[in-house]
Structure 1
């Protein structure tokens, strides 16, 4: 059994059994989410690692005009200590005006590094085009780069991306439907009809009959008080309720790039026979020299000579009986010494033959 390494490296055995989980771990409240913000700005103070591009020069001129400085028409600043950047951030739910959030700053031009730079005041907008935060501050860049006189260079991590902790001040709040209506809706992270019904039963057992109802495989509506302060206490009690989630469907997940294979607990095999073997074709080139006779007036040439050999391993066959479990599948595959790529081919063939009770998903 020296092939058990296959199961340890390329076959990850996962059991999706019924287990108690809190509502807050498997569902989220509808409408309570973060929002993406984005903005365009300039980073200044770079030690010669910036850029001079048309859009950077235009942005620099516009910034100077805001301070009452007008450059002569047609003048290009040619500054190497500035860089045009895109600033991104996430605005968490219930974030209030005056609070701060983290921002990520990324170069969009030819700047070599943002290390040592300062982000100028940048407006961060939402999908509706409104300004929700304003970012500014000194960048923290973990990457570095260096250039040699002979043209060689070295780059560590990514010097063109930096971060400003608490670098943006929130100027506008995002309204949420949390305090509106007579219901709070929970959306399951993984849609499942059984889980939705079990969650509904758990809430009704706690609050009383008819307080919760499953809308579909994802959403569960719960009747809630209208007063906002009471709704917070109500939600705190509901989200900590525990119930048994449904067992996952029988699945086999195959990652064709890494060779990782994940097999669910409920995967079963119908009667089938599998043979495993391999053929190796080796081609070796042995060029030879062709020497003409002394009086032939010919040229000495190199003539290719190929040596082809074919080696076929002795195939092994094993049978799967009705209701074969995951352990039986792993043991049989280990016995034939299948590599991860061979195991993928075996699983695909079994699925095409209708011998797998479950989904085969290849990513």
Structure 2
């Protein structure tokens, strides 16, 4: 595990409100004049190892979002996630969140976004990591609210915001409900990913591809019809896989059927991600380690290829992307690519 911990990594799918560590979360409650011990938060903010469904998993998030509605709180949250990632060798991390779920009457969505951007600036000054922010439109919210999120993504694109997403309960709110919003995003030049195929609906993946998504969050349902993989490969689409979360929520029913190996054999580009570091009690090191133990032996070279594919799919300007790829190539020269992770 020490070798894996030291390997340079890239993470593309990490939710802010699911990844604030328990110590920082306890501090956020203190800022609000509330008392929540880390032991209390362990029960409320961490999901069971096996959830009944995605809905049960999502119940953990309000514990955090309810104490993020100030500039200081947002900065503490971003710093918490950046610190965790930097400590395990993550060189580039994209953090996503819904400004709508954090806003209050006294703290607007725009103030939420501005505070997160300030948090990114501070985190990058303190830790050896680069960050990008993805704004999430949310399933179940009004089109007007989601259009405001889209507008904020357009306004702050290139100033810390790197892309747009749609998240939430996919089983209740399929992709066609967001078609017009994504077409508007595409017309405005805002790159976007989309949570799709996490709850068994392959059509959501195909719709997201059709609307112009450059990545797919989870995409597990693609296993139902691998013939569709050719279209994703042709379009250069990467799947943001989150193994531990995918087993928790039932997106995959067992490690024996988890499609990581099949997707790679098919030639699909995949990234490995935590999804929610706190809710899933995970780290990127644990995600790779679990895959190695449960799905099939991985080598340092496998991690390198996945990391490189992730960097290639990052929502970065081309010059910055090339610099990141060069940084990774040089860093991995210090490792034996044929070596086992164990």
- Which interval holds the TM-score relative to the shorter structure? under 0.3
Q: TM-score, normalised by structure 2?
A: 0.19
Higher-Rg structure is 1
Q: Which structure has the highest helix share of the two?
A: 2
Q: TM-score, normalised by structure 1?
A: 0.18
